[in-house]
Structure 1
Amino acid sequence: MDIPPPPVPEPPAQPGQGHGPGWPPPHPGQPHPGQPHPGPQQPWYPYPQPFPEPVSTSGLAVASLVTGIVCCVPPLGLVLGVLALRRIRRRGQRGKGMAVAGVVLSSIATLLAVVFVVSGGVGALWDGFREGIDDARGTRSTMDLRKGDCFNVPGGELEREVVDVSVVPCTKPHDGEVSGSFKLEGSSFPGDKAITEIADRRCWAVEQEYAMDSWALPVEAESYYYTPSSRSWRLGDHAVTCSFATTSGKLKGSVRNDARRLDADQVTYLRSSNAYDRALAAGPDKDRVEDDLPGFKKWAGQVSQVLGQESVRLRGRQWPAAAQAQVSARAKEAELAGGEWAKAAAAADVETFYTHSAAADRALRQATEIAARRALRLATTPPNTDSGGSTAGTGGADGGTDSGGTDSGGTGDESGSGGGTGIGGGTGIGGGTGTGSSGSKAV
């Protein structure tokens, strides 16, 4: 009996895709090895698990915190904070701490705002803000001052150097008021002394056109002016700026009383009277006739000529009936005084000069002038005739003309540290004709 041979053992199955350790079981419907499949076999991978979505921060909470910090609109920050807390609780968002902080800060700011309004602080704040804007808008370089400007010097100290002043309405208390200005001739710097002498003479004429009735000026108003420094001259600053200012208290209201504010009769009378005042003040530098008889004789001739012109002008005008007699009396006295000054101009010796100049002084009676002024509705209180020393200030040109001179402002700079001027006494160049003008030298 034949015994069949034992069967040949089959080789072990090789692990394939979807079999063996580490592989997941075949996808349902996926053919097993050895089974036919309709097309290319697609690899299969396990489905990935979704990652958890991050928690967002509430934008309302951020807005509430920012609004509460900057305090721009306190109630808005409070409202945003409350809305943020509700949304955070409902949506599970982050930002609760920021919302709470915004609510607290906004609540405090809102409370303070309410107290501020009730106590009137808003009005004070607005007034302060408006004053600050006005000050910034009114701050002007002394080079830019113009005729008619009323101004305050920082700190109220006139007798110091300044670069800028605050221009204010003339209805408010102020330190000074610009009466006008004029240009200096020539291309080279004339020197401080020469400019001072010119300013002494010409500023008075400028001021008399601006405030024609000098008797109407406040007692505290004095004549001040700015002149160029050698440094500012090289920068094109060739103007002298004239002004009225005070070192005692403040000026209240404008001192202006010019041809635009006076009637024709008043202007005619005042121009005649003012011309005599200027001529009288333009005497020689010497104090005694003995020291300069020729100079005093020349001056006496000029005074005589001015008085003759005044007499002719006053007599040649048809005055109102209420003023005719008084003005005629003034014209007669001017004629008599002019004749005495003519005799003084022809004097052969000092004694003769003194005799006729004294007679000329007696011919012009103050009572006659007061009567004429009263009839013309002008000021009747004579001004203080005390002479003042004269010193120079510093100035700057601006251009343009107006009655009495070129409108300009003033500032100078000799130290190279920016234009700066001051007005007041103390550091300027002395030497005057008794016009009462003063100023201070800028750095």
Structure 2
Amino acid sequence: MTPRYLRPGRAAAICLAAVTLLAAAAGCGGDSGGKDGTVQLRFSWWGNNDRAAATQKVIEAFQAQNPGIKVAGETADFNAYFDKLATQTAANDAPDVITLGGAYPQEYGARGALLDLSRVSGELRTDQIDGAALGNGKFGGKQYGVPTGVNTFGVVVDPVVFEKANVPLPDDNAWTWADFVEIAKKVAAGSPKGTYGVADPSRPDALDLYSRQRSEGLYTPDGKVGISKQTLTDWFTMTTALRDSGAAPPASLTSELAGQPAPEQTLVGRGLAGMQIDWSNQLSALRKASGHPLKLLRAPGENAGKQPGMWLQASQLYTISSRSKHPKEAAKLVDFLVNSPEAGKIILTDRGIPANAQVRTAIEPTLTPDQTEQVQFIAKVTEKAGPPLVIGPAGSTDSVKILQRVNAEVLFNRESPAKGAEDFIDQLQAAIKK
């Protein structure tokens, strides 16, 4: 999934806090120059062995075009990566090019650990990267990162479930949230018992999308809760109506599936729901799990609200350490990663759909049908996307568990939609003030 809500754990945050004290210091750093004048760069990322192998191929292609630069890759599994990076950064030993995601770029940038990329604009071109995607790496007026690729948050639909229920697929250029509810009811009514119109849609990203259509958003640019009590009340009123009608699962099943279930555990992945609100990059895994030709649709209400709620979300961001001894060479590497068709043909969609349209075009002939559909969907959304997403402040990662708790209270009828809205806002405000 897209790691929007990730941030350092407590130990990592303690290490990262030391960055402020080191920001002005001219430490040894981790980069160096070879005796023959060759520039030595370090490049870090997280991921599995397949990603490491592909990244090494990209590094070799870059070095072939830049014989005076050598790049050493540093990778770790997801759980270890950020703790290691925080420790390295606090010790003034951060890699030159750092892959980040979620709330990390904002936190590292605010502490002076990341380079303002305007300083290397001659080496790193951003004019071909969509502005909405580029906004994911901009904080406090400074561009700290560029997207490795992008995803978006929409609706995954199962045409097989719709066909068996004798319900036509919705027109995602026109449908509203009221249409969404009615369609879910019809799918459930025409399906066998245990098959639903939609999986319960309550998750922070969905609240963000829904509230953005009302010109709100889950957070404000100054780091406060932005979603209103009325918007949340309307959301919970809608989801409880879906539950009551049988269009969505009962509270017990939704609670059982709460969190981040694997694709094969989801209702859509098991062929037991017609719709599921999810990330576009989950299409391949959900198709594989279900064995059905799932499709991606724009979210309901995109043409009916005050503004589009969907956004382009950076899968990850490439950033540069503020203490790199070779910022221009590091910028050349990032430029190659995001703007080179050669790099794009190696990475493909592993780090999201390329945000550079020229790279997207270059890789399309080599993509699988699943990947091609994702690319085409991103291109469709790009033309109509809303403003850049406001990334949540420190503490906002708690929103996932907070919403799970409140959603359970509402779905089990222990709280009214209005009370649930009030509780969610109160708990989220407390979390981001920690």
The TM-score range, normalised by the shorter chain, is under 0.3
The higher radius of gyration belongs to 1
Normalised by the size of structure 2, how large is the TM-score? 0.23
Report the structure, 1 or 2, having the larger strand content: 2
Normalised by the size of structure 1, how large is the TM-score? 0.23
